[in-house]
Amino acid sequence: MAAKQGSLTINSENIFPIIKKWLYSDHDIFFRELISNGCDAITKLKKLSMVGEFEEPEDIQYRIDVIVSPENKTIQFIDNGLGMTEDEVNEYICQIAFSGAADFLEKYKDKANDDQIIGHFGLGFYSAFMVADRVTIDTLSYQEGAEPVFWECDNGTEYTISKGERTERGTVITLYLNEDSFEFANEYRAKEVIQKYCSFMPIEIYFQNADAPEEPEETEEEEAPEVLDENGEVVESEPEKDEDKPEDKPEKKKPQPLNDTTPLWTKHPNDCTEEEYKEFYRKVFLDYREPLFWIHLNMDYPFNLKGILYFPKINLEVENAEGKIKLYNNQVFVADNIKEVIPEFLLLLKGVIDCPDLPLNVSRSALQNDGFVKKISDYITKKVADKLSGMCKTDKENYEKYWDDISPFIKYGCLRDDKFNEKMTDYIIFKNLDDRYITLPEYLEAGKEKHENQVFYVTDTKEQSQYVNMFREEGLDAILLTSNIDTPFITHLEQKNQNVHFLRIDSELSNNFVEDSEEDEETVKANADKLTEIFRKALDNEKLEVKVQRLKNSNVSSMITESEDSRRMQDMMKMYSMGGFDPTMFGGASGITLILNSNHELVKYVLEHEDGEYTETICRQLYDLAMLAHRPLEPEAMTQFIARSNEILRILAK
């Protein structure tokens, strides 16, 4: 073969410098691209064997070898696939963007389809030039009589092709790293990147550090010292035998591949054990906590998609719900959390999805605008909804057991995805005051006579214990909504059920807690006006809202209610960190009402002793007690409350 030179043919709109600098956002991606090319070459050869165009040797072991040399600043990628002829090098290497994989698939699409070809783009090889000043290819085709080919390109578009010296079928690509990329010749850095992108590639990957010191050779055993008999003669003795030591030297350990060629998601769900699912989760996501449960996706038609989605155990009150869905294309890592494929609400989960049919763009890390992607997203949504609804119907005990952990995922999904919401509407459950799970229709049916179309809820059973006790005394029920996501979720439920209104248990006192007054309306109004005036004066707050009611529970002197709309607005402002409003303003927070029980002795005392010595103290104490039952006092108010309480005790002790 006569050596020849030429210029690379740009078979696209991109010119070489742009490819070199901007083809990929992450420069370490060249590991994935070049190893993927090696996998392609082997996959092609296996296909040729299947159709009778190549006879595999009996002892063949397909493999990819990655060899780094920190000293020489080089990386080699070696495969024993089908190799290339000079014409193929000209066609697939010298003409940028002509996809060899696409050409191969077109030729053999009707002959074999058991394995997939990873490459679709023809540009993956040129990722090497992001990190290398010089790249060489040494290749020998599987074809009978083929001659080896050597190709090299030095930091530009000029290349040289000449006869190579390779004697074994396959290809060696050597990268001579540029000054900014020497890190990739480091053994630990290289292994880290390979694990990131290639952990599950379908061909075994082996690693070698060319500059690593060889294992020291075994030294000869020292001779035993001479033993003399009584006459001074040397006594010959047989060497001692170690009964536990085998006579033959143990075999050297065989090198282990860096990747798992048959990851769990490639298997049928019936062939996977519970422990395998858990072990795979720990290995891939480095999470010591066991997942709650998982969904194994396994679909062949109308598109090919496999994967495993895990519902992790998280505490949304103390940690961010940042899941990770790893997207693969034929076991080649593409990216994390691609929103076009993974429904947004499922990004809270952890898992892997492998879809060979994804229409990826040239960098394999973003998706082309394709309606097919939406179908994949809809399918994943449907499978998750089917799993959850099926569990609710057939395994209600575990569904309820997991509910506190999975409800944020489900509620967020209902907020973000209409189709998911439609499928899950009948399977949203709530825990009531008796720690029993019920649906919204069940709650509404049970309370229709006492609070039709009203749903009372509790956000903190300790802070709202006074209200909870009153509900229990009257045989009323409420549901527990303790997660941050419940604020927008109840608004969502109200929009979907327009006649239903959610009220926190301390938002108002219904007539269920109030006795009919024996006094006439004018007297009741007059007393209420008088008490309002007394309390506003004692608390020095002219804006204080006061309501006087005759409560059935005579042990309750005062309570605070807070408008549902006002409190939701405050919650929203907190959620979005909006300033400019202090919801704990002393006595003047919008929506706050002081409820005075006209059936209580202290309230009666204030009404009858407007100018009494202790009236102001009692008013302040009743207000603070009501606030304490509603939410914690501010520091200054708490200091005053403690001092006042001590003063009251001192007076009582006289």
Q: What is the structure's pLDDT at 245?
A: 52
Q: Strand pairing partners for 177? A: 132
Query: Which SS3 state, helix, strand or coil, does residue 280 take?
Result: helix
- Residue 410 in tokens: 């489900």
Q: What is the structure's pLDDT at 569?
A: 82
pLDDT tens sequence across 269-294 = 999 999 999 999 999 998 888 899 99
Kindly tell me the sign of the dihedral angle through the C-alpha atoms of 374, 375, 378, 384: negative
Q: State yes or no: pLDDT of 339 exceeds 50.
A: yes
Q: What is the structure's pLDDT at 13?
A: 42
Expressed in percent and rounded to 5, the helix, strand and coil fractions of the chain are 40, 20, 40
Mean pLDDT (the chain) is 83
CA-to-CA distance for 124 and 159, rounded, in angstroms? 18
Enumerate long-range contacts of 344-348, CB under 8 Å, 24 or more apart.
Answer: 344/416, 344/417, 345/409, 345/412, 345/413, 345/415, 345/416, 345/417, 345/420, 346/309, 346/380, 346/381, 346/384, 346/409, 346/413, 347/323, 348/321, 348/322, 348/323, 348/408, 348/409, 348/412
| Angle made by CA atoms 389, 394, 395, in degrees to the nearest 5 | 95
Q: State yes or no: pLDDT of 4 exceeds 80.
A: no
Q: What is the structure's pLDDT at 307?
A: 94
pLDDT tens sequence across 578-590 = 554 554 443 345 6
Q: How confident is the model at residue 27 (pLDDT cuts 50, 70, 90)?
A: confident
Q: Which of 182, 24, 42 is nearest to 101 (CA)?
A: 42
CA-to-CA distance for 58 and 66, rounded, in angstroms? 24
Q: Evaluate if pTM is beyond 0.85.
A: no
Please check whether residue 482 is in contact with residue 459, taking contact to mean a CB–CB distance below 8 angstroms: yes
Domains and CATH numbers, the chain: 4-209 (3.30.565.10), 264-394 (3.30.230.80), 517-562+585-653 (1.20.120.790)
Q: Which residue has the higher pLDDT, 253 or 510?
A: 510
Q: What is the structure's pLDDT at 91?
A: 84
Q: What is the structure's pLDDT at 120?
A: 42
Residue tagged 């000029």 (tokens): 158
Q: What is the structure's pLDDT at 117?
A: 41
Tell me what the mean pLDDT of segment 27-46 comes to.
92
Q: Which residue has the higher pLDDT, 35 or 516?
A: 35
Tell me what the mean pLDDT of segment 557-561 comes to.
91
Query: Which SS3 state, helix, strand or coil, does residue 398 take?
Result: helix
Tell me what the mean pLDDT of segment 211-240 comes to.
60
Name 194's Cβ contacts closer than 8 Å, sequence gap at least 6: 31, 35, 66, 205, 207, 258, 259
Q: State yes or no: pLDDT of 110 exceeds 80.
A: no
Q: State yes or no: pLDDT of 174 exceeds 60.
A: yes
Cα–Cα distances in angstroms (integers) from residue 234 to residues 224, 228, 335, 400, in the given order = 12, 5, 75, 86
Q: What is the structure's pLDDT at 518?
A: 73
Q: State yes or no: pLDDT of 363 exceeds 50.
A: no
CA-to-CA distance for 141 and 163, rounded, in angstroms? 13
Please check whether residue 454 is in contact with residue 509, taking contact to mean a CB–CB distance below 8 angstroms: no
CA-to-CA distance for 197 and 259, rounded, in angstroms? 10
Residue tagged 């009220």 (tokens): 503
| Angle made by CA atoms 467, 468, 473, in degrees to the nearest 5 | 95
Name 470's Cβ contacts closer than 8 Å, sequence gap at least 6: 513, 553, 556
Exposed/middle/buried for 229, CB within 10 Å: 0-12, 13-18, 19+? exposed
Which string of DSSP letters, residue by residue, matches 179-209?
GGGGGGGSHHHHHHHHHHHHTT-SS-EEEEE
Q: Strand pairing partners for 559? A: 595
Q: How confident is the model at residue 524 (pLDDT cuts 50, 70, 90)?
A: confident
Q: What is the structure's pLDDT at 232?
A: 58
Please check whether residue 336 is in contact with residue 324, taking contact to mean a CB–CB distance below 8 angstroms: yes
- Residue 581 in tokens: 């409003």
Q: How confident is the model at residue 546 (pLDDT cuts 50, 70, 90)?
A: very high
